[in-house]
Amino acid sequence: MARALLKIQRYFRRKPVRFFSFILLYLTAGSLVFLHSGFSGDSAQVGREPLALAENGASTSEGRGLGLIGRVFKDTRRAARRFRPKGNGQDGPAWAGAGGRSRAAKERRSTKEIEDGRARYIGCYVDDTQKRALRGVSFLDYKKMTVFRCQDNCAERGYMFAGLEFGAECYCGHKIQGVNVSESECNMECKGEKSNLCGGANRLSIYRLELSQESARRYGSAIFKGCFRRPDNVTLALPVSSVIQNMSVDKCVDMCTEKEFSLAVLAGDKCHCGFPTTLFSLHEPEEEEMCLHRCAGEDFESCGNDEYFVVYQTQVQDNRCMDRRFLPTRSKQLTALASFPGAGNTWARHLIELATGYYTGSYYFDGSLYNKGFKGERDHWRSGRSICIKTHESGKKEIEAFDSSILMIRNPYKALMAEFNRKYGGHIGFASQAHWKGKEWPEFVRNYAPWWASHTLDWLRFGKRVHVVHFEELKRELFPQLKNMVLFLGLEVSEDRLLCVVGQKDGNFKRSGLRKLEYDPYTPEMRDTIDGLIRTVDVALRRRNLSGVPEDYRPR
């Protein structure tokens, strides 16, 4: 045996090229075996899928629509094997990749057909250019259209459905008015992501949007405000009215928009238009069942009646609170609008400017905010021309530079995520999944969470005159909270102006409610730390005879 090995050794010493050839052949053979086992496993998985659905009591057709939770957005980069029309598209589908027609039928379940809690795929529908299946707003993008972009745009406008057509067209609507057809007819790839399908020629890939409660209370571009009792003097409260044949929400909203009113009010077959005033303030909504009177023009809409009105806010801008200017005389008193980053400071500035008519300033300079209309951003913070000054600073010296302060506090779990999104995605953007799952997020929480507590504690300790505002309470009770803020700033309150602000509360810096993380980014260790910080801040607030942190984020 030893003699044989010696002969082989001598052979390869004389022929080193043959030795390397032998190693190369060995590695190639191993790779082929590995690839073969991978394809076999994939085929076995596809073959097992109908059985798994049957065991769960669901049919194969039902399984096609449901699939695995979370694949719509999370796996868009993982392309399934696609099919493409052969020739002029009349010869049947030609499938790309290995596998026969039975396997290809399974692969037709692309990522767009899977539900993830925010958007659910409905199916492929006929779209007639003369009579659209979705009749809300639409937009085109022949370079960058994606499924999520279409869904996000429709969600921002409060529509229930989003549909994609011809690979680049997006349509929104509240009702599907088209015929459901075979999935094979929605066969065009999205222009902005080859891993998803975006309808076909005169065919819509339609999704139902699972929106937040706030976003869902809309009808197209009009915002649903609620059901309200008839005002005492309808003519004074709502100066324009008309009887409309076959009344629908669309018709009333269109009429009031054309006449440039911000409120469209439906009362049976009558449509009233106006602005929110003290005569019709929208402060006391009634139960919606009081307004459940179906519209003559649309079966699924409510149009109210003679005693209870259905109210929508149109896209018309209420100009009663849009005038803003610098203070007429320079103020010697500096008031801070202080907050931890991500606690809603920019939103509070927007509200204060509309409510008071005066610009707010900033300890910093942010060009994007200046371009959005915050003209006080460019002024020096000590100029005395602004009603209050935005600052995230903490520490004795910085705080004592101000004579008074409005201190904004927000749930640290929400504030940290908001600031992380701003840091890596801009004022209305989002951090990427790579940032959330990488080292950036744990490091961010480790550094910023203690600052959330120390910021509040410093302002409570060193602030000369502090008015505490909780972000959650301002959002929930905007009118009374904003009224108290205006009074704290030493100004008279105009209730009509405040009502105007309530109608335009969002401003230009609000993130979409559709894109949300699919998991909790906080580890148990992070939560232990943050809960301890919440308790510390709660105790400090109560020592100053304040109400403490709101219940919705106090640790249990």
Q: Identify which of 488, 468, 465, 477 has the alpha carbon closest to the alpha carbon of residue 540.
A: 468
Give CA–CA dist 417/70, Å, rounded: 21
Q: What value does the mean pLDDT take over residues 131-140?
A: 84
Do β-strands 189-190 and 193-197 pair in parallel, antiparallel, or remain unpaired?
antiparallel
**Residue count (the chain):** 556
Q: What share of the chain in percent tops pLDDT 90?
A: 50
Model pLDDT for residues 330-370, shown as the tens digit of each residue: 998 999 999 999 999 999 999 999 999 999 999 998 888 88
Q: Identify which of 270, 267, 271 has the alpha carbon closest to the alpha carbon of residue 258.
A: 271
Q: What value does the mean pLDDT take over residues 79-92?
A: 32
The encoded tokens of residue 378 equal: 């460019």
The pTM (predicted TM-score) of the whole model is 0.62
Most confident range (mean pLDDT) of 167-181, 203-217, 335-349, 542-556 is 335-349
Mean pLDDT over all residues of the chain?
79
Give CA–CA dist 546/541, Å, rounded: 5
Per-residue pLDDT, 554: 64
440 in Cβ contact with 421 (< 8 Å): no
Query: Between residues 194 and 116, which one has the greater pLDDT?
Result: 194
Query: Within 13 Å of residue 143, how many CA atoms lie on the same side as its CB?
Result: 0
Q: What residues pair up with 85 in beta bridges, in sequence order?
A: 93
Res. 531 pLDDT band, cuts 50 70 90 = very high
Do β-strands 308-313 and 270-274 pair in parallel, antiparallel, or remain unpaired?
unpaired
316 φ/ψ angles, rounded to the nearest 5 degrees: -70, 130
The encoded tokens of residue 351 equal: 């509200």
Q: What value does the mean pLDDT take over residues 36-62?
A: 35
Give CA–CA dist 255/265, Å, rounded: 11
Q: What value does the mean pLDDT take over residues 172-195?
A: 90
Query: Within 13 Å of residue 299, how many CA atoms lie on the same side as its CB?
Result: 1
Q: Is 484 exposed, middle or buried (0-12, 13-18, 19+ CB in 10 A)?
A: middle
User: Across 244-292, where does the E strand assignment appear?
Assistant: 263-267, 270-274
Per-residue pLDDT, 87: 34
Model pLDDT for residues 207-234, shown as the tens digit of each residue: 988 764 445 466 767 888 889 999 999 9
161 in Cβ contact with 154 (< 8 Å): yes
Task: Name every residue whose Cβ is closer than 8 Å to that of residue 529 and which is 6 or more positions away in sequence.
Answer: 449
| CA triple 181-64-152, angle to 5 deg | 75
pLDDT tops 50 at residue 88: no
CATH superfamily of the domain spanning 335-553? P-loop containing nucleotide triphosphate hydrolases (3.40.50.300)
Other C-beta atoms within 10 Å of 204: how many?
Answer: 32
Res. 99 pLDDT band, cuts 50 70 90 = very low
* Torsion from C-alpha of 418, 419, 420, 423, nearest 10 degrees: 130
548 φ/ψ angles, rounded to the nearest 5 degrees: 80, 180
Model pLDDT for residues 470-501, shown as the tens digit of each residue: 999 999 899 999 999 999 999 999 999 999 99
553 in Cβ contact with 411 (< 8 Å): yes
